[in-house]
Amino acid sequence: MPDIKHFDPDAALETIVRLFWRDGVVSTGVQDIVDATGVSRSSLYATFGDKQALYVTALRSYLQKRSVPNFDRLAADGRGLPAVREFFVRLIAVRSTGEFARWGCLASNAQAAGDIEDVHVREILDSHHERLQRALLAALTDADRLGQLSGALTPADAAGVLALMAYGINVRSRAGADPQELDAMVDGVLLMLGGPRPAALLDAAGSA
């Protein structure tokens, strides 16, 4: 086994993130991590700490490298509802197809499994939720400014609804839900917010 001086901590952490993401913290043992990374238990502990510390570090890495860039892209888009729909189209695609199909979201998986006893885990999950809501609120504020909202919900209330929908997509896709059904759910919710029909949203997204 390589020791602490002879392995790449960033590469090892990415492997650890994927293990926790795919299999969950309960089903992932330290020996699974040792086997997947090729790094000895003592070197892992010396670099990251025990299994719980590894999990906290993995969650924090997932948030910064995978969630935040998508949230920032949505918040800065400026197109309103077309940007919201594009966000959900991408979310459904990555959750349902390709390398990470049926893995869900590491943060959503943690919340669904009740992995919130650790104060550090809870803080990371709260931060993830707040960042998601802020990004959705920014996009919905743009939508309101552009006259795309005609429903009874305020942008802040709508952001809360859409955040819950994102969690639902993460959980349902992990269970193997049909991506077309998830797409239809997104279109239905956006219609309730008073936006244009799905075809118009797609045209606007594609022309930007």
162-202 pLDDT, tens digit each: 999 999 999 999 999 999 999 999 999 999 997 544 444 44
Query: CATH code at 7?
Result: 1.10.10.60
| Domain co-membership, 133 together with 92 | yes
| Domain co-membership, 127 together with 183 | yes
| Domain co-membership, 93 together with 37 | no
| Domain co-membership, 34 together with 70 | no
| Domain co-membership, 15 together with 108 | no
Percent of the chain with pLDDT over 70: 91
63-84 pLDDT, tens digit each: 999 999 999 999 999 999 999 9
Boundaries of domain holding 143 = 63-207
Residue 56 domain flag: no
| Domain co-membership, 139 together with 182 | yes
| Domain co-membership, 14 together with 107 | no
Query: CATH code at 119?
Result: 1.10.357.10
| Domain co-membership, 25 together with 101 | no
CB 19 within 8 A of CB 28: yes
Phi and psi torsions of 69, nearest 5°: -60, -40
Residue 16 domain flag: yes
Residue 141 domain flag: yes
| Domain co-membership, 103 together with 199 | yes
Looking at residue 104, its pLDDT comes to 97
Residue 55 domain flag: no
| Domain co-membership, 126 together with 174 | yes
CB 113 within 8 A of CB 156: no
| Domain co-membership, 79 together with 112 | yes
109-138 pLDDT, tens digit each: 999 887 778 899 999 999 999 999 999 999
Q: How far is CA 127 from CA 20, 65, 119, 120, 187, in A?
A: 19, 14, 12, 11, 27
For the chain, the domain total comes to 2
| Domain co-membership, 37 together with 69 | no
The Cα 153–Cα 202 span in angstroms is 23
